[in-house]
Structure 1
Amino acid sequence: MSSLPQILRDQLAATPAGRLPFAQVMELALYHPEHGYYGAGPRKLGRQGDFFTSVSVGPLFGKLLAMRALQEWQALGEPEDFTIIEQGAHDGQLAEDVLSALEGRKLRYLIVEPNPRYREAQAKRLGDRVQWVESLAALQTGPKHGFFLCNELPDAFPVHLVRWCGERWRELYLEEDGPEAFRLVTGDFSCAELAVEAKHLPRDLEPGHTLEINLAMLAWIRDLAHAAFRGAIFIADYGLDAEEFYADSRAEGTLRRYKQHRMDGNVLEDLGECDLTTHINFTRLIEEAERHGLKKMEYDLQGRVLGRMAMPWLKSLEGQSLDAATMRQFQSLTHPAFMGRSFRCLMLKKAAP
């Protein structure tokens, strides 16, 4: 059976120029059905995996999102078809945490999941408590009311790499560097959309400045805007504002690989065996969202957003102290030294399309 490097070499040999846009490489490295990091099925998270997420900290993250979903349901007049919609549900742990925290309220739960191996893992955990659709396109016909959530989703979308050459931006492509290695080389843009997006990039940078353009993220938020539901959209991820994203201190870009809780920039090594991820440009995401009718409700560091989200619950405790496990989870999610500063949350208001 072919390995992922061999699949890449075969595809390189089949292209007239002998090179591939990095977005195509990242797509294969993460989502190839047999050799991609995520393609073969859910990965282990937490201490036994390659990285931690807010979900792997414990069920508190799901409890807070359940409380926020109930608020949205009530604000909409408690419609019967109100549906919590999750994309990027991994093994279904967040869905289980949210559903467990709904306190008997039987709200509908829908997972957007194209990979049958993930659906199988999610069904094993969740049974008949959820339903599935394969893509956001299915949401164009319903439900009419909803709360959409995702945790660490856009950062794993395949990105194009571009580099400032002193006079113009150029795209980075993968090509072979001998029989056992690959390298990145510059070339003209691979598509018209990328050329248009590059016009919005700064031009006062030092030659060699490299960054990512996440066309998939922009297409994704447009698809969400066209979904039939009205309600709210919650996005939690690690990312930056545009000024931070383009800063000289990030002249090598934000693309990184994660393996066994170690992060580095060797993104062409062990392709398919490690996670590839980028910080998302929240400024650009919000611009595109608002251009398609979504309204920014809240955008802040995760610690602040979750802290505000937790206030009604904390007040309801009436002086009772949190148990040690819940306190550790709350600190991990909100403290600036942990996930509170490294992650950001964006809440968007969505009217009917």
Structure 2
Amino acid sequence: MQQAIKKRIKDSLHNRISYSEYMNIALYDDEHGYYMKHAQKVGKHGDFLTTSELSSAFGRAMAHLFVKVVEHHLLPPIICEIGGGNGKFAEVVIDEWKKISPNTVDQLTYYMIEKSSYHQQLQRNELFSNQLIYFKTVEEFLSQVGEFNGIVFSNEWFDALPVEVIEKKDGLLYEVWITLEGNRLVETYIPVTNQHILNYLSTYNLSIAEGQRFEIPLDMIKAIERLGVMVKSGIVVTVDYGYTFQEWEHPARRRGSLRGYMQHQLVEDPLQNIGEMDLTTHIHFDSLIEKGKQCGLQLTTFKRQREFLLMIGLLQLLEEHTSTDPFSNRAKANRSIRSLLMEGSISDYFHVIIQHKNLELEESFLIDLIKHK
């Protein structure tokens, strides 16, 4: 992977590549990219955990929400998950759907957009479901399926998309690029010339402080535009970590959020362990929501994950039992639910955004729908 990056730099016009190009190679190169390689990435023996991996209660609660939407004839039973990883979320949702809505499960279609052939194979080996239809990219989905009516779900997809990096030095804005110093990868600074970066700053009225580093999520903006094309009528559920623009102004975030994760340890230098670690950034919630509106995706709700799970009735999944065995199935299921609601749990770090298109689905209506028996 290092050789591939260095070759790309040497072959470039000015012997440098942008951070977005660097991330795209490091994460998605067909042969050596982190997400593409045949190795475990999610879970105890991987590099990071997702909510779905930590607790099956998350997928169960989402399945109940999806079923409510379908049984009240808002949408057909069609789900499109983007970046499904090891398939744990899809497995739980389909299993729970079978239990709570046997009358609709036969009509359930589950599209999976997963770029990694390794993860696709994991899913095929584990899920054993003829309801899953696979695609490698959103573009492939659009070419074969086109716009559809249904539910789009993603968990930590946006945070893994490449970003541009800028920094303000001596009153001027610079793009941070990657070049070679001898045989070593280093950062270099050039004045901002990318008009898309300037448009992003102007559109959202962003002012970068002296010494501040900031990621510009141009790929996220493109992804939202594609979601707007994909969804004819439906809801888009996004689970991810990030900040509002106001939160980005906090001094603690002056150096941006681009980091690596390897064996569950944070690696501050994104130029280390190339192809061997995850690269991630905190997403911009405000531009995700505002760009969504421009693409017809109206905001339904935006909540911290704990609040959202309480809103959709996670506690209703708790089961009464008299067993004193802490390892009984019911005891373990109840602990799984509580683990998502505890202070200091993974739910402190994630938010859930639901957007809707061509539906009457304000948050108050969503709450009434969930409460309806």
Report the TM-score, using the length of structure 1 for normalisation.
0.90
Task: Give the aligned partner of residue 124 of structure 2.
Answer: 123
**Aligned partner of residue 11 in structure 1, secondary structure:** helix
**Counterpart amino acid of 1:164?**
K
Which has the larger displacement, 109-118 or 60-69?
Answer: 109-118
Matching of residues 35-184 of structure 1 within 5 Å: 35-41=32-38, 43-77=40-74, 79=76, 82-102=77-97, 103=99, 104=102, 105-106=105-106, 107-127=108-128, 128-137=130-139, 138-139=141-142, 141-142=145-146, 144-179=148-183, 181-184=184-187
Does residue 246 in structure 1 map to residue 243 in structure 2?
Answer: no
**Aligned partner of residue 171 in structure 2, secondary structure:** coil
Answer whether contact 2:315 2:337 (CA < 8 A) is retained: no
**Aligned partner of residue 147 in structure 1, secondary structure:** strand
1:348, 1:143 → 2: CA distance?
Answer: 16
1:31, 1:69 → 2: CA distance?
Answer: 31
Give the superposition deviation at 1:42.
5.9
Give the superposition deviation at 1:117.
3.2
Question: Taking structure 1 as reference, are residues 91 and 311 closer, same or farther at Cα in structure 2, changes over 3 Å only?
Answer: closer
Give the superposition deviation at 1:11.
1.1
**Counterpart amino acid of 1:90?**
G
Question: What root-mean-square deviation, in Å, do the aligned CA atoms of Structure 1 and Structure 2 show?
Answer: 2.2
Give the superposition deviation at 1:70.
0.8
Question: Taking structure 1 as reference, are residues 78 and 12 closer, same or farther at Cα in structure 2, changes over 3 Å only?
Answer: closer
User: Structure 1: where are the runs of 5+ without partners?
Assistant: none
2:205, 2:23 → 1: CA distance?
Answer: 22
Answer whether contact 2:75 2:149 (CA < 8 A) is retained: no
1:35, 1:132 → 2: CA distance?
Answer: 22
Give the superposition deviation at 1:334.
2.6
Does residue 233 in structure 1 map to residue 236 in structure 2?
Answer: yes
1:60, 1:8 → 2: CA distance?
Answer: 41
Question: Taking structure 1 as reference, are residues 193 and 75 closer, same or farther at Cα in structure 2, changes over 3 Å only?
Answer: farther
Give the superposition deviation at 1:190.
5.7
Task: Give the aligned partner of residue 12 of structure 2.
Answer: 15
Answer whether contact 2:29 2:36 (CA < 8 A) is retained: yes
**Counterpart amino acid of 1:310?**
G
2:75, 2:236 → 1: CA distance?
Answer: 17
1:270, 1:20 → 2: CA distance?
Answer: 18
Which has the larger displacement, 193-202 or 285-294?
Answer: 193-202
**Aligned partner of residue 266 in structure 1, secondary structure:** coil
Which has the larger displacement, 95-104 or 224-233?
Answer: 224-233
Does residue 34 in structure 1 map to residue 25 in structure 2?
Answer: no
Answer whether contact 2:75 2:150 (CA < 8 A) is retained: no
Give the superposition deviation at 1:267.
1.1
1:143, 1:108 → 2: CA distance?
Answer: 15
Task: Give the aligned partner of residue 203 of structure 1.
Answer: 207
Report Cα offsets for 1:94-133 as digits up to 9, x if no partner.
1111100002323111111233333222222223231123
**Aligned partner of residue 226 in structure 1, secondary structure:** helix
Give the superposition deviation at 1:293.
1.2
Task: Give the aligned partner of residue 327 of structure 1.
Answer: 334
Question: Taking structure 1 as reference, are residues 78 and 208 closer, same or farther at Cα in structure 2, changes over 3 Å only?
Answer: closer
Answer whether contact 1:72 1:147 (CA < 8 A) is retained: no
Which has the larger displacement, 320-329 or 99-108?
Answer: 320-329
Answer whether contact 1:139 1:229 (CA < 8 A) is retained: no
1:311, 1:123 → 2: CA distance?
Answer: 29
User: Structure 2: where are the runs of 5+ without partners?
Assistant: 323-328, 360-373
2:207, 2:155 → 1: CA distance?
Answer: 32
Report Cα offsets for 1:19-63 as digits up to 9, x if no partner.
100110011111112221111246342221112111111321111
Answer whether contact 2:303 2:353 (CA < 8 A) is retained: yes
How many residue pairs match? The answer is 343
1:298, 1:176 → 2: CA distance?
Answer: 45
**Counterpart amino acid of 1:171?**
E
- Aligned-residue sequence identity (percent) comes to 25
**Counterpart amino acid of 1:348?**
Q
**Counterpart amino acid of 1:159?**
V
1:41, 1:191 → 2: CA distance?
Answer: 35
**Aligned partner of residue 51 in structure 2, secondary structure:** coil
Task: Give the aligned partner of residue 309 of structure 2.
Answer: 306
**Counterpart amino acid of 1:216?**
D
